[in-house]
Each structure stands twice: as C-alpha cells, then as structure tokens.
Amino acid sequence: MISKMNTNTSQRNLRRLVIMTMVSCFMLISFELSAWDCIETHPTINALAFEHFVARFNAGHFKDRFKGMQIDNQAQFSGLTFSKAVKYEASTEAKTINTVGVFSQWLERGGHDADVPQVRMGFRHFYDPVYEPRYLTWLRRKIIKPDKNKFSNEKELFESYNYRADDWNPNIEFGTVNRKIRLQPKIFRPEIDAITWGMSHEENEHNWQNGKLAYKAAMENDTSTFGSLNRSQMFGKAFRALGETMHLMADMTQPAHTRADSHSLYEPIEGSVNAKMVRKVIGDAHKDPNFRPVPEFDIEPGLSPEELMKSVAAFTNSHFFSNDSVFDFEKWIFPRSNKRPYPSPQLSKLRHEAGIYYSYFETVGWVPLAKETGSRFSKVFNDNDKYGRKNPKFNVMPYFAEKQAQVLIPLAIYNCAELIGAFLPRLSISSSLRKISGNSYELSGSLLHHADDPEWQDIGEIRYNGEGYIKVNSQWLRCNFIDGQLKPVKLELAPGDIVKLSVRNGAVIVQGEAITAD
C-alpha cells in the first residue's frame, strides 16, 4: 500500500514537473518570437511604406496601371482591430474593438495586429528560403556535426543537407520515421510558413486573398460575404489584411525569421531596432520616388507578392547572420541553434578586423555581421575586444543594429510599398453624353475593373454598387452605380458645359475623361 502511494506521489510530481516545464517554456518563448516590434516598429515601417508608395504614385511611376486614379487618404473606414498586444490568447474574438481610420492608419493597424496574439502568431512568421520544410521546425535532436575530413569542399557539405528535414530529427529525411506521438500542441508547431500564412492560409482571416475578397465585397456593397460587416467595416478589414501582409513582408527582412532561428531567448538586432531607429536610418529618403534598397538586392519587375516575399527572404538569408546561425566552413563553426548551416554568409569570406566580421554594401559601406566573443550563449554578458581564441564563439552584437538597419529597413519599406501597388485594383471610368432634345442630355457610364490584372484574376471582376459624382463645370451632383453601371442621369446643359464622372470609394478616386456638351 505504501509502495503504491509512493508510486502515485511520484507520478503526480512528474506530471507537475512536466506541466511546470511546459509553462516555463511557454512564458520564455512568448516574449521573443515576434520579429520587428509590433507596437511601434512594424506600424512605422508600414506608415513609411505608404508614404513611399504615394511619392511614387504622384510621380507617375504607376501611370499605366492607375491611369485616371488618385489615392484617397481622407475617407474614414471603421473596422475591428486589437486594442493591445495580447500575448497568450488562443482566440482573437474577445480582444477586438471597433475603431475608425483612414487608409494609411489601417495599414499601421495591420502592422500591429499581425503579431496578436503573440505566441500563436509568432510561430507563423518564419520562412526558410534554403531548406525544407519552410516553416519553423521544433527540433528535438541536435544536428550531428559532421567530420570535416569527409568533405573536400563546402559544396559537398551543403549537398548532404539538401533534404526535407524531419521536424524532430534534422539528421533524417522527413517521412522516414512514423511520428505517432506529438508532445507539443499545434500552437507551438503549426507547420505553417510566413508566406503561406500571409497569402492564403485558411486559418488567417486577414490573409492577402481575404483582404482582396473583402475589398471586392465592400465595393459591391455585398454585406452577405463577411457576416455582419457593413461596407465601411469590410474596407477596414481589407486594409488591415494588407497591413498584416506588409508586416510579414517586413519579417522577411529580419534575419532570424529567414534562418529557422526561433530566437526564443534573445535576438540582438530585432530587440534593438525600434521606431526611433527606423526613422533615423531612413530620414526623408523614402519620400523620393526613386528611393531604392541597396543595389545588391535585385529588383525584379512583375513578381507576384508571394515571389517577391521569397526574393526578399532569400536576400536577407544570404547576406546576414542571425545570432544563433553563424557558420563558417573553413573554421568549421556550426550554428548555435543546432540546425543546418546556410551557405552564405560565411565568416572566412567576410572582411575581418579585430574580431569583427564585415560585409560591404555599395550604398551603405561596411556593415558588421558578427563578432568573436567566446560566449556560448545568445546574449554576451562579458563583451571585450579579445579575439583569436583557440575555440572561438561568435555573436551578432546589439550595437550592430543601426548599421544593419541601414540595409534591412529600406528593403522592408520599398517592398511593402510594392505590396500596396499590387493590392489596389486597376479601375477606370467610361462615360458618354447623349443629346435627347434641346438642352436635355442623358449621361451614361460605367466603372470598369480590369480584372485581367494578375493579382485579381483569382478574385474576379468588381461590379461596383454605390455612389458616384458628376461634376458639371464647378457644380457637383450625386449619382448611383448598379453592378458597375451608372444609373442614367438626365442633365440640362448649355453648349460648352463640361461634364466629368467620378467615383470616390475604397481609398481611391477614379475619374473619367471630361466630356463637352455640343
């Protein structure tokens, strides 16, 4: 009897220990999984991206795509958003509030909301452009550090890693072991990468595709598509979704999020780049319509948002270390994260000066990427200038942040602006005057959506329902569109009167050509 009681007590203690360990891990990771800070940094990036987009728009960079259109950042839209950065909520329903904002403010809200609740969302904001699986893996075993003598060159080493790794053991191919037991709940290992999550994942109600569907429903005033949301709220939902996708684009400029580095303990660059630093490194450069990221980033016109995010992730991955993924073939230094190393950058291929390793960017200059510290930990507790150790360890230092941000933040702003341009539909107005008799005319017209646009082909043509405006000389009249067609309007005009039809909705103003009465 006593033995049985002792056994039961031991089992209870073991269960308590397991629960306490899981809770401790939960508390630990919850503070560090998001990329650039969602309270200030991400909203600031989105705000600056909007300003850059407007600068390019006004300079005529999109004249072929948006001919006859203007950006409307005055109209207010209502919608649901989060009041604060909730960390632990498994559901998002109870924490939303209704608010009102213009187009750019909803983009900023999306920059914030994409990380809420932080634990649940954090695991969905990673994309690995080199290895499969692309999502953040929860590996239970360390990668086996190979014998260098077995590889004559680094190409052979990386070819040996070219497989879709098992989530629990990175040394074996996925699917070779039947994994019937799953110790971590789905919240910790959702098996969703950032691009899939941002573009179309069914669990993400504010993904890119849903944002366009909400925009279409709002333009058509189809209140049956999104439950009880009215037109204004559907526009708010659409622009929040765009802002959340921009957030994920900016995450692709955060090295840890492109290098399978969960940085659950510490990430020096992410933790050091705040809104103040973002504005400092950008200044007013983004207001120049010809603003571009560093020349080393290859701008490829015509990429889809998904391909653009992949391109940005690949650039970040190949040009920067995360704190726990420093690697070098010559020195045989492997990542502290115990995951597969990446081909680039490598310490021995960088400029070395007094223990610090630099990479050169044409418009920025020499940027520090790593420092020899001797620290086995992510955080360096005793920084000094010693180098040339027998068994060196390497870290990315917090004071590297501003210089690295000079490369990474322009990359984020420029490509987030590209997303805005890809999201907005290409619209135009056609109109005509028919003389009835004397001074009586009938105005007819239509709001056309050019749905052959690649980003809208899968959504379908917008058939606008709502108000429009007729300008007769300097006088404004209201009119109505039904399924994209203007409800014919009778006008009394004198010869020489100028008539112009327009629509103001969905954060754009679409204007037709001026027509002169005979």
What does the block give as tokens for 69?
């259109």
d(CA 359, CA 175): 39
Same domain? 404 vs 456: no
336 within a domain of the structure (yes/no): yes
DSSP string, 212-244: HHHHHHHHTT-TTTTTT--HHHHHHHHHHHHHH
Same domain? 271 vs 129: yes
Same domain? 433 vs 412: no
Mean pLDDT (the chain) is: 90
**333 is in which domain, residue-wise?**
31-423
Same domain? 173 vs 194: yes
d(CA 512, CA 195): 37
Return all residues near 437 (Cβ < 8 A) that are at least 6 apart: none
Same domain? 192 vs 269: yes
Same domain? 95 vs 167: yes
333 within a domain of the structure (yes/no): yes
Q: What region does 124 belong to: left with phi over 0, alpha with psi -120 to 50, or beta?
A: alpha
Sign of the four-CA dihedral 368, 374, 378, 380: negative
A 10 A CB-CB count for 76 gives 13
Same domain? 418 vs 460: no
Same domain? 127 vs 222: yes
Return all residues near 169 (Cβ < 8 A) that are at least 6 apart: 139, 140, 141, 177
pLDDT band for 228, please (50, 70, 90 cuts). confident
pLDDT the model gives residue 2: 42
Which whole number is the average pLDDT over 352-361?
97
Domain finish residue from 423, 453, 481 = 423
pLDDT band for 223, please (50, 70, 90 cuts). very high
* Structural Rg of the chain based on CA atoms: 27
Same domain? 285 vs 187: yes
d(CA 305, CA 87): 28
d(CA 234, CA 256): 34
Same domain? 214 vs 309: yes
How many domains does the chain contain in total? 2
Return all residues near 121 (Cβ < 8 A) that are at least 6 apart: 34, 114, 115
pLDDT the model gives residue 333: 96
Domain finish residue from 378, 406, 423 = 423
Q: State the CATH number of the domain containing residue 471.
A: 2.60.40
More confident residue, 48 or 186: 48
Nearest Cα to Cα of residue 338 among 183, 165, 145: 145
Is 80 exceeded by the pLDDT of residue 265?
A: no
1 within a domain of the structure (yes/no): no
Same domain? 306 vs 340: yes
220 within a domain of the structure (yes/no): yes
13 within a domain of the structure (yes/no): no
Same domain? 388 vs 457: no
Question: What tens digit of pLDDT does each residue of 459-504 get?
Answer: 999 999 999 999 999 999 999 999 999 999 999 999 999 999 999 9
Question: What tens digit of pLDDT does each residue of 136-165 get?
Answer: 987 778 899 999 999 999 999 999 999 999
16 within a domain of the structure (yes/no): no
d(CA 359, CA 361): 7
DSSP string, 45-60: HHHHHHHHHHHHHHTT
Q: What region does 463 belong to: left with phi over 0, alpha with psi -120 to 50, or beta?
A: beta
- DSSP β-bridge partners for residue 101: 77
304 within a domain of the structure (yes/no): yes
Domain finish residue from 423, 438, 473 = 423
Mean pLDDT is lowest, of 59-63, 114-118, 286-290, for 114-118
14 within a domain of the structure (yes/no): no
Question: What tens digit of pLDDT does each residue of 5-43 get?
Answer: 444 445 544 444 444 444 444 444 434 455 667 889 999
